[in-house]
Structure 1
């Protein structure tokens, strides 16, 4: 696009495109972490009263219905091989549909989905034990926080860049003064050049007769 003298240059839209990119990133990143919320959300564990549970996802976590000392639990896969278990590093509790479950053991390494035989020996409490896929409450909480923060950060940046772009375009397109200027009155102390003296004709002078 050609411009002519006195015509304002075409405004650059770099900041506008950056704002659009921020909005697009907000949708993509927020969508990713929202998917992570669904993936990491705790599921209701299966009771192990029958001894065998079927896991639809990898990993193994053993829960108790009441806070209890970590009882010796054993787990075997469908082939009868032992699955090493370890206690949680801290207190972990999940609440699903009003029922609270307390983590008492977890597989050392993520195990594939399938059938597992689990037994827990507990003679000191009336706790009910259940098992579910390997999960982490920390990962679930982090996914929620990441979803909120990523949305606020990228949308906020997009709004800032868009506002700056609109302000710059408004200033660039502001029309200049189109009214003719009037001469200013002279200053009282301003000096003007003197005109040469012209006495005019004089009848008393011989040359003017």
Structure 2
């Protein structure tokens, strides 16, 4: 099998794994309006909400009392402790491991939230181009496969004569 095809298959599998990473389990739960201090041992911060996932707002401060910017980018779901959780908010920039104080609420003024380490996120430039990247990968794979097939065809034809 041509090396180019193997490289495209390997790159595609790696990209798929990269995009489908399951979020890590939450480390703490809190009710709407409750103040919770959590210790995160991994980089990043994600806030989860039990479905149904109504509009959520949270305030997060680091150990120095500085606000952590949050991004409203719904993410994948996970099951931990017998509960289903959906990623509702993530830290805009990766935050270092440490202690954080969190307060969350929702429009319906109820619900349970969970906090955990952040999950892998694509760089902003890539996220903005996600509508373009899959077709580019597919076209690239087709070009590599077509070129490989053409080279094999020509070599076999020359060998037959």
- Name the larger-Rg structure: 1
RMSD: 3.9
Separation of aligned partners in 2, 1:168 and 1:116: 63
Structure 2: runs of 5+ lacking an equivalent: none
1:35 Cα deviation (Å)? 4.9
User: Could you tell me which residue of structure 1 aligns to residue 39 of structure 2?
Assistant: 54
The 3-state SS of whatever aligns with 1:169 is helix
User: Which structure has more strand as a fraction of its residues?
Assistant: 2
User: Is 2:90–2:118's contact at 8 Å kept on the other side of the alignment?
Assistant: yes
- 2:67 aligned with 1:83: yes
1:127 Cα deviation (Å)? 0.3
Separation of aligned partners in 2, 1:30 and 1:122: 39
- 2:102 aligned with 1:118: yes
Structure 1 runs of 4+ aligned residues shifted over 6 Å read none
Matches within 5 A, 1:19-168: 20-37=2-19, 40-49=21-30, 51-65=36-50, 66-71=52-57, 73-77=58-62, 79-86=63-70, 88=72, 92-97=74-79, 99-101=84-86, 103=88, 105-121=89-105, 124-135=108-119, 136=121, 150=137, 153-154=140-141, 156-168=142-154
Give me the TM-score of the superposition, normalised by structure 2. Answer: 0.61
Distance 1:106 1:35, change over 3 A: closer
Give me the TM-score of the superposition, normalised by structure 1. Answer: 0.50
- Aligned residue pairs total 145
Q: CA offsets per residue over residues 99-153 of structure 1, 9 Å max, x none?
A: 14251x44343210223221225695330011123345996xx5xx85x974884
